[in-house]
Structure 1
């Protein structure tokens, strides 16, 4: 039988691929690590709270890490090709970061997003050279993204499937490795809890896997907003859980259990009312002088509740949560009292709870 030998090597493509990978890796090499900020708590409590400030990435959010990993994954798998568009289903921040990397390697980018996405995010995607395809129902983003990829011959990046596998959770400067390195000289270098929020679920999966791999005792809590199914799906062990309404907290919460959400890796989940997320976001600004998005407020509310529970139990240690993106993307939304009124959201009671806790250590029982 004659040997069959098929060689698909294209010299021009291989040269383009090498240069594209170099550019993405060079971007990481140019970027300093993000800061780990200390949230002030009374020293007598013996508990330290830190916020990993992912808003300092070049594209302004936690999703910069994910987009870099997804582009390297897509490039090295041969999925991203010269001249062909990358398409992504996104609630905004991932698309901003992917538009940046698409421009870096020289391919078109199309973001498929709900019409409710903040205008500031749409403007940033277009600033980085991407285009936006807006849909009425957030549940449509998956199907529309696949259709556009088929029609254009492009690549559907599919962050909701590949987020948990594109990142090397064993190390290689992932967010978990960075957190533990920055805590090394702190009073409690191995945190009792790390609190994450979930959009794809990739961040919580990366942190949880790293903790287990390194044999740390740190526990992982995922804070979930209203109208998201992650909490219910995790509680009922139901991978098919769905929700009829989408999350009001941009960047986190989903209407289906996403493939990148790994429920078995995490220890605890906490359902957070939207009013509490926005109240915590505004308290964060008062305490640190820094505007952050409402997803950061979701994590901060849960982290402070855990601090309160540790204090009540007489426990000492540290807790870490994340600043996911900057608040200037939401000035006409979460920072707008008119928007809150239109949504029927009263954040005053939740804000009062937080301020009372920070003042005297008491967390009202609900």
Structure 2
């Protein structure tokens, strides 16, 4: 009787993970034409087109490849993550692709529709017994008890993308921009959750010598903007971000401030206002982090125009609107959190109509 060599399984597993993206096509790069702004091209990199609807698909794919290649994930390894968000959905997706058991340890107040998305991708979930801040360690302990692999997207994500993430989001952006009027963007605008995406973009810019600058937007309560300003590598706020996918109460290992040219703090109400404008005016069904990104992009485009500059700016749609119809897209939910998007909506309308920006 012969058994399959672990290397053979690993090679086939990595092939499956890499081939999981339909036709290996890049996610769309969508121009956003605004009649009042003719001298600066605005582009949205739509990561919601991934099979699990989020840019975390790209991150988790790299993490699975790295863990398989290093022997941390084998043909019978349970995979555990500590998240109720898009990482859990993508983790369940790739585990099912490989016939592996996936479990997400989630905070107690995780909405039912989020849990349904994990289940829909073939994953399991269990509610953490500890406060949300301790869910990471609870999941790590579960992985140890089960002899499984802990999918640590905060601790390992940036390294995995650097080693196994090609083509990166930056590779795709520059390939797709090559035929545009201003093929080398003046700015790329990103948020930071694990920090892996901004790190991948920043590294690409330096590796290829592009004059493009990287701007990272940061929501309220996040530690990243104050860490970048102060140079404090272990800055903490102790408060969770209200914008899913970006912002953290502490600086995570994957956040690389040295590759960032500018950080822009964005009020949460401004992110909601931008999200609403994208949906109702531009017809773009995006998540809250796209609103944060778009707010930062508006500021930069207006600044370019004031300086008489031509060029292009690219930002990212991290996920779609569906997971947020009962939260960030719900007026009562927004009001219950003391957020008033109205003044910021007026700012965005002014920008779209005239190209001017009243803030900063």
**Aligned mate of 2:29, from 36, 60, 63:** 36
TM-score (structure 1 length as normaliser) = 0.93
| C-alpha spacing 1:109/1:170, structure 2 compared with 1 (3 Å) | closer
1:70 aligned residue (50, 53, 63): 63
- Give the match's secondary structure for 1:355: helix
Q: CA deviation at 1:29?
A: 6.3
Aligned to 1:358: 352
1:324 to 318, 321, 328: 318
Q: Distance in 2 between matches of 1:267 and 1:106?
A: 42
Question: Do the aligned partners of 2:182 and 2:312 also contact (CA within 8 Å) in 1?
Answer: yes
1:222 to 216, 232, 237: 216
In structure 2, distance between residues paired with 1:51 and 1:117: 29
Three-state SS of the structure 2 residue aligned to 1:167 is: helix
Question: TM-score if structure 2 supplies the norm length?
Answer: 0.94
Q: Give the aligned CA root-mean-square deviation in angstroms.
A: 1.9
C-alpha contact (below 8 Å) 1:46/1:316 kept by paired residues: yes
Q: CA deviation at 1:132?
A: 2.0
Write the mapping of 1:166-177 to structure 2, written as runs, cut at 5 A.
166-168=160-162, 172-177=166-171
Q: CA deviation at 1:117?
A: 4.0
Q: Which residue of 2 aligns with 1:297?
A: 291
Task: Tell which deviates more after alignment, 305-314 or 29-38.
Answer: 29-38
Q: Is the 8 A contact 1:170 1:209 kept in 2?
A: no
Residue 138 of structure 1: how far off its partner (Å): 3.0
In the comparison of the two structures, how many residue pairs are matched?
A: 358
Separation in structure 2 between the aligned mates of residue 251 and residue 54 of structure 1, nearest angstrom: 13
1:114-263 correspondence runs (5 A) = 114-135=107-128, 137-168=131-162, 172-263=166-257
Distance 1:118 1:51 in 2: 28
Give how far 1:105 is off.
0.6
Report if aligned partners of 1:171, 1:177 keep a CA contact under 8 Å in 2.
no
Distance 2:165 2:60 in 1: 17
Query: Whole-Å Cα distance in 1 between the matches of residues 293 and 215 of structure 2?
Result: 9
How far off is 1:275 after superposition?
A: 0.4
* 1:88 aligned counterpart, secondary structure: strand
Give 3-state SS (helix, strand or coil) of 1:288's partner.
coil
Q: Distance in 1 between matches of 2:6 and 2:163?
A: 30
Cα offset, 1:44, TM superposition = 5.4
Which of 23, 27, 39 pairs up with 2:16? 23
Contact 1:114 1:141 (C-alpha < 8 Å) held by counterparts:
yes
Look up the match of 2:73: 80
Say which SS state the counterpart of residue 20 (structure 2) adopts.
helix
Q: Distance in 2 between matches of 1:357 and 1:143?
A: 45
Q: What are the equivalent positions in structure 2 for 1:41-56 lying under 5 Å apart?
A: 41-42=34-35, 45-56=38-49
Residue 338 of structure 1 is matched in structure 2 by: 332
Is 1:312 aligned with 2:312?
no
Take 2:164 and 2:8, find their aligned partners in 1: how far apart are those partners? 30
Q: Which moved more, 1:19-28 or 1:56-65?
A: 19-28
Shift of 1:239: 1.4
Question: Is the contact between residue 36 and residue 355 of structure 2 (CA under 8 Å) also seen in structure 1?
Answer: no
Bigger shift: residues 31-40 or 190-199: 31-40
Shift of 1:218: 0.3
- What stretches of structure 2 of length at least 5 have no aligned partner? none
CA distance in 2, matches of 1:114, 1:237: 31
Which is further off, 154-163 or 68-77? 154-163
Per the alignment, in what secondary structure is the counterpart of residue 248 of structure 1? coil
Q: Which runs of 5+ in 1 are unaligned?
A: 1-9
**Among 103, 112, 135, which residue is 2:105 paired with?**
112
